[in-house]
Amino acid sequence: MALRLAITGAAVLLGSTIAYADPASDWSRGYGHMGWGAGYGIFGGLMMLVFWGVIIALIVIAVRWLSGDGQGRGKSTEAMDILKSRFARGELDEEEFRKRKAALED
């Protein structure tokens, strides 16, 4: 089964490279697939930059969120510091401190 899948994939790749190498296609007129004279011109190039900028920004946001460097962690740490200082000043007893600490850690 794996061999059949590999042979099929190789046939598809080989077939597509042969199609792209066809010298009689419209690409041989000097425009090229990235030329300014064909397609959407400068607007297409700008949209490509915007697209990749959004993709990169989403990746950075996802990595920050997953690593815990986001703002949510800072608020939790700040609340824990306030709770510890209130306990140290004697405003909270040990039972209340443990209950609130458990609520913040969830």
Residue 10, pLDDT score: 63
Query: Which class for 66: exposed (0-12), middle (13-18), buried (19 or more C-beta within 10 A)?
Result: exposed
Q: Rounded mean pLDDT of the chain?
A: 74
Kindly list the domain boundaries of the chain, sorted by start residue. 41-106
* CA nearest neighbour of 87 among 101, 103, 104, 76: 101
**Is the model's pLDDT at 105 over the cut of 60?**
yes
Each residue of 24-35: pLDDT tens digit?
555 555 555 555
Is 70's pLDDT higher than 60? no
Look at residue 46 and tell me whether its pLDDT is greater than 90. Answer: no
As a whole number of angstroms, the distance between CA 4 and CA 20 comes to 25
What pLDDT is recorded for position 52?
94
- pLDDT score of 38 more than 80: no
Residue length of the chain:
106
Does residue 80 carry a pLDDT above 80?
Answer: yes
pLDDT on residue 59: 95
Position 75 scores a pLDDT of 61
State how far the Cα of 72 lies from the Cα of 65, in Å rounded to an integer: 9
